[in-house]
Amino acid sequence: MKKCLSVIALALLVYSAFSSGTSRADSPYTVKTYPATCAAMNDQAAYDTSYLKSVWRIQQGEEGWLSTSRRDFPPEFGLKDRIGAKELDRLVSYLAKQGIKLMLVYPPTRGLLYPELTRASAAGYQVEDKRKAYITALQYFREKGIYVPDFASAFEHNGEPYLFFPKDAHWSQAGAIYFAKMIADEMAELGYRDKGPARFETTYSGIIANNENIQNGVEDLCDFSYPRLYVETHVTTELVSEEGLFTDEATDDPHVVLIGTSFSAQRRFNFSGYIQQFSNIPVIDYSTTGGGFTGSWINYLKSGDFEKRKPDLIIWEVPGWWQFEARYFDAILPYFQNGCDSTNTMMLASSVKLNPVSGKKNALFSTEFANVRSKNLLFDVRFSHSNIENVSVRAWFSSGLSKGFTLRREPGTTTSGRFLSNLGLDHKYVNEGIVALDVENISYRGKTSPPDKLTTDIRICRSQLPYVD
């Protein structure tokens, strides 16, 4: 309250000074100006944290906009390579066999939508070619059996309200509304829209300081900061009839699940709320801030909710700058079968004592299944310490050659000390058997110190999600 009153008092003082005719020369206050850029913004070595690396390279745009090469001007869209395509096929095929439809929210980047404001040409970005590549990626996803609205039509959305923020790679609330309407229209095409009385209501919920991620990068790099942008927020709630909540009565509602990133998870956007309002159907939101490409999927599948009730439709939101890489699917797909259990484990090493940092060579060793192709296998590594973030392991194959794998846990993903991964196709030994596994390096989340003692159970089993020929 004191801070609020001091801001009001200062505003009144400034207003009094100007309204009384005081000239700038006579004013006891000086206005300090700051540059719009600094040299560090062009120095890649200055981008020395994981966050700053994610926003390289920041450049000044027009009308107060900032752009970043990584997020506004990606070189490619959609699938990174044929291996990623194979893994996507596994996901789509598995969901289809379960009777589950998959819809993709893959909005265009700010560089595609607003090339003038982001100064795309100054970054050497060939916008027309990239727009064509983006449209091709959307069509490719459709050919894979994924439902994808016509997000490219946003290229025709000119002027205000802008669909994205000037100094933030996230969509604005106007953008959340715009794309949620597209999703609801696509849902209606699938028969997922309640044409009855309105069941949801969106209301104003206050004003907050917008956390603009590119602006934050500038503040980390330079000795100045830009003024904060304040935005209205809204919240969508379910209406209550005389008999109670509508969903208590609507037992025939399709079960719709939203998987996504901070675009979907942050309350300032109310994305899932707008989908509910426009479709008139409940949406269960499992989106995760800070979970990257994989976190929301992993949290959802680990929760057990997928097994308790299979969804009719999964809406999957992925920022437009992200490419679909095989390693992401290697981390997601094993959770559909909850890894290895007593019924399917082929190789097992229990209570193996590890160095808490450097692990152990030959933590698992067996030649019994050396003739089973590694591409059909997954490993399930469980540690006695829960707060582990990344683990480096090395798989040894029947030829005597090896491949290193990094098992990651994104900051927004719940951690329990358990890591699952397919061996997958992204290596040269897909048709060889595995004979050993080394644990090479272990890192811990945040400021967590390594424990005095650490053990692990390692299991290897077959994947239940076959590759699609």
Residues taking part in catalysis: 168, 170, 262
CA distance 334 to 353: 25
- Positive or negative, the Cα torsion across 264, 266, 271, 276? positive
- The contacts of residue 276 (CB under 8 Å, 6+ apart) are 199, 200, 236, 238, 282, 283
Q: Find the helix or strand (DSSP H, E) in which 94 lies.
A: helix 82-97
Cis peptide, bond prior to residue 35, ω within 30 of zero = no
Tokens, residue 177: 């509304």
DSSP label of 32? P
Contact 21, 190 (CB under 8 A): no
- The contacts of residue 110 (CB under 8 Å, 6+ apart) are 67, 71, 72, 117, 118, 164, 169
Crossing angle (nearest 10°) for helices 271-279 and 173-189: 40
CA distance 306 to 46: 43
